[in-house]
Structure 1
Amino acid sequence: MTDPVRLVDIRDTPLDVAEVVGSLDDDAAGGLTLFIGQVRDHDGGKGVAALDYSAHPTALARLEDVCRRVAAAHDVRGVAAVHRVGPLQVGDLAVVVATTAAHRGDAFAASRDLIDTLKAEVPIWKHQVFDDASEEWVGTP
């Protein structure tokens, strides 16, 4: 089998769902599970006016490590994860993760593990500015 980690990136350009799905093309995969995180117009009861993601210089290596650990822990054929950095608008895609497996249950479990571990361990931080001019950082140490 080829390397299951097919696409890992952190970019300051718009994310492409078709690219992520295409990176996992595999005739032996019976299921592909995709998670798309997008910028919503509210958080914590406040309207979001602006949002900016920042990444630590080690973030890409950490993201690849997470992808490799998820691939090793689950019976998957492929893993892909792409995260956006920089200023984003409401509706923009912030993160796209996907996994493929012979069976749907394995793909669902791996994708859930992938997004949860990415959010917990990869040093990417969200700076939100709200409609009332207050602001917060999310995910900082």
Structure 2
Amino acid sequence: MRAALVLLLAAASPAAGQVTPFTVAGDAIEAPLAGRAGDAARGEAVVKNRESANCLICHSIPDAREAFMGEIGPPLAGVGARLTPGQIRLRLVDPTLVNPGAIMPPYHRIHDLVRVDPRFAGRPVLSAQEIEDVVAWLATLRE
């Protein structure tokens, strides 16, 4: 029931052209958003971009060249061995669908948000392509 609700909310949102509908199966979104293939190199750049996704404010990654990484979220080293691409995708799109108490923001949702940065009002933080790029890169982190 919750998966159907999510799909309908995404399709009916005012920015339906910007939020891609998806279907949750268990704890994953198995199908790539909009059928897009991800590019791991672009995904790494998105994760390291401290102006948009800002993943490193909460997570650490296996890259000693990155300074000032967070410790609030789990380390991303080995995430590709722990989670499937579909599980990673769901956690990026809307982690509250896995854990309602998640403090990680949803990166591909625009409804029911509070304290939204004006740059992202009415649009998702990451596009469907950026989500797929990040999924592709995180899936490579196997150790």
Whichever structure has more helix as a proportion of its residues is 2
* Structure number with higher strand proportion: 1
| TM superposition score normalised by structure 1 | 0.29
Higher Rg of the two aligned structures? 1
User: What is the TM-score normalised by the length of structure 2?
Assistant: 0.28
